[in-house]
Structure 1
Amino acid sequence: MSRSLALAFAGLLLPATAFAQAPDRAAIRKACAADFQANCPGIKPGGGRLAACLKEKRASFSEACLTTLQQARAQRPGG
C-alpha cells in the first residue's frame, strides 16, 4: 500500500512521459512512502486526494519527503 501511495503521488508531480523515465520514482518512494502511510491512511490515489492530504498535513511530512518532492517538481518540464 505505501508503495502505491508514493507512486501515485509521484504521478501527480511528473507528467506521464517523465514519470515513466524518472529516476526519482524510487527516491520518492523511499523518502515518502512511510509519510503517506502514516499521514494519509486509507486515501485512495486519484482525483487529487493524495495532493489534498499532503497540502492539509504538510507539517507532518518529513523534510526528506518534502525535499524529494520539491526536487522532482523542479526537474519536470515547466517545473
Structure 2
Amino acid sequence: MPRSLVLLLALAMLAPSSAFAQTPARKAIRDACAADFQKHCQGIQPGGGRLAACFKEKQATFSADCVATLQIAKTQRRSN
C-alpha cells in the first residue's frame, strides 16, 4: 500500500475535514504511523469506517509512537 494512501486513510480515520489534513499533524501521523498501517491494515479498503475499525481491533500491535501521535492529533482536533 503506497505511503500516501496510508496517510490519507489515517487522516480519514481521525478527521474527515480537509482543514485538518493540511495541518502539521498530517506529517506527524505519516511519520509515526505509515509503517504500522501498512503492516497491520494492509488490504483494507478506505471508507465506511473500515480503517478505523482495523486500528481499533489491532491497536495493541501498533507502535507506541503511532498510538500517541494519533491520540494527540485527536485531542487537538477536539479542542479546535
Normalising TM by the smaller chain, what interval?
A: 0.7 to 0.9
Match of 2:46 in 1: 45
Contact kept in structure 1, 2:41 and 2:54, CA below 8 Å: yes
Match of 2:76 in 1: 75
Provide the C-alpha distance between the structure 1 equivalents of 2:21 and 2:39, rounded to a whole number of angstroms.
Answer: 26
Contact kept in structure 2, 1:18 and 1:76, CA below 8 Å: no
TM-score with structure 2 length normalisation? 0.85
Pairing of 1:1-79 with structure 2 (within 5 A)? 1-78=2-79
Taking only the aligned residue pairs, the percentage that are identical comes to 56
Q: Which runs of 5+ in 2 are unaligned?
A: none
Higher deviation after alignment, 10-19 or 59-68 = 10-19
The AA in structure 2 aligned to 1:43 is I
Aligned residues: 79
TM-score with structure 1 length normalisation? 0.86
Alignment RMSD: 1.7
- Runs of 4+ in structure 1 deviating by more than 3 angstroms, as ranges, are none
Provide the C-alpha distance between the structure 2 equivalents of 1:50 and 1:12, rounded to a whole number of angstroms.
Answer: 6
Provide the C-alpha distance between the structure 2 equivalents of 1:4 and 1:17, rounded to a whole number of angstroms.
Answer: 15
